[in-house]
Structure 1
Amino acid sequence: MTPPPPFGLVVPVKVLAAAKTRLRGAADDGVGEPSAHARLALALAHDTIAAVRGASGVGRLLVVSSDPVVAAELGAVGVEVVPDGPVAGLNAAYRHGAGLLGTDGPVAALQADLPALRPQELTAALAAAWVAFGHGAPAAFCADAEGTGTTLLAAAPGQPLDPRFGDGSAAAHRTAGAQELVGDWPGLRRDVDTPDDLRAAAELGLGPHTRCVLAPTSPDC
């Protein structure tokens, strides 16, 4: 099989004030101050994006967000950020970004709350998706740690991205014809929605942005 061409990658980031509501208080010992919560939500995205940029096999990275802080922060480190399209919602943001990337090459959709993601995990998962495409799969996905959600969805060249993120998304993507990817990628599978998820991610090893939001007095922060 020929080596995979670079994947276009879409990462939507919700407006920070409305993002990760079940984590409210995790950054400030339960107080839930809005700016502290926004810093945590932004840090999760920062660490996810940093891992993406360190991975092999990623070509154009596109963040979809209408939050001006997200656009400024990520734009300052060279990340391309575009606003949401006319339709609201996570799946609409994925479709909007995929439409901007086009379908000439493979396209992937990644969640923005993977603070323990390692570049080599994403590299391996994209390579596995390319193998699945070679065996005839139109799409491939990586389930989350619980096995019910989805953290990564990839579409083969010429195939439209068909995101079905939300409750039960792993089953929805499987039913739609996407092949489930199997690999030892704990950071890729550990999305963070709750304090328990955040603790599980910390056991794997958080990226520096999230780590410093949670422990700002650490020597390396």
Structure 2
Amino acid sequence: MNISIWWAIPALTGLIGVLMVGGGLGRLFRFKMFSGLSRFLFGGVFLSGTAVAVLAGMNLQTYARLTYERPAAEITFSQTSPQAFTATMRVPTGQGEDFGEPVIFELTGDAFRVDARFLKWKPWANVTGYDAIFRLDRLQGRFDEVNQENNAPPKAFDLSPVGTSAALDIYQLSRKNEIFKNLKAVDAIYGNGAYAPMADGAVYEVVATQSGLVPRPKNEAAREAALQWGAPTSLKTPSLGQVGE
């Protein structure tokens, strides 16, 4: 249900309640006790319903605002050799649901990691309509084995030219804007990163929540890779290459 309906319903019931209470009081003043009292009581019931609907609408609005998320990037993987993948990234253009031109990266490892710089608002600011501001910062591969990670040459890609969620600098906004400083609306400015397994043909949608990034599998290849990667070793099923060996 559209959230705006939660405000239309109490507005309508509130109007009916006010009209009935006003009509009831008018009849009581004209000594029409029965009809006046009936209208007054029914109007009170409508106003009580309005209060309940307003509270429900506020709770729904609060939940929707605090859990709001939007796409930050879409990444498709193609395996070129063991622990080597071509990552094709597209970021939103800011115009509806359109994505920009793809950008190609060559990653090594078992998983990918995407980092961003975040400006997180206080919850009350989220509820009033302010969404977290983020700027994509870095993309890199990640090995599951620590020793392999330590022995591999570090390689990361700068994402700041690729795209950002807003045409302004998050540090300038928080440090120089006197209104935000006085209201103390900014909760924190920090770096945030998330990683997930790479697999041939896997597609991930990286979404930005009010507090950080979430890489969400978008197709079966990504979901299967995430399940295998997240399961304990004893529960992992053999890959196609291991079946029958």
Q: Which has the higher contact order (CA 8 A, sep 6+)?
A: 1
TM-score relative to the length of structure 1:
0.21
Bigger-Rg structure (1/2): 2
TM-score relative to the length of structure 2:
0.20
Return the structure number with greater strand share.
Answer: 2
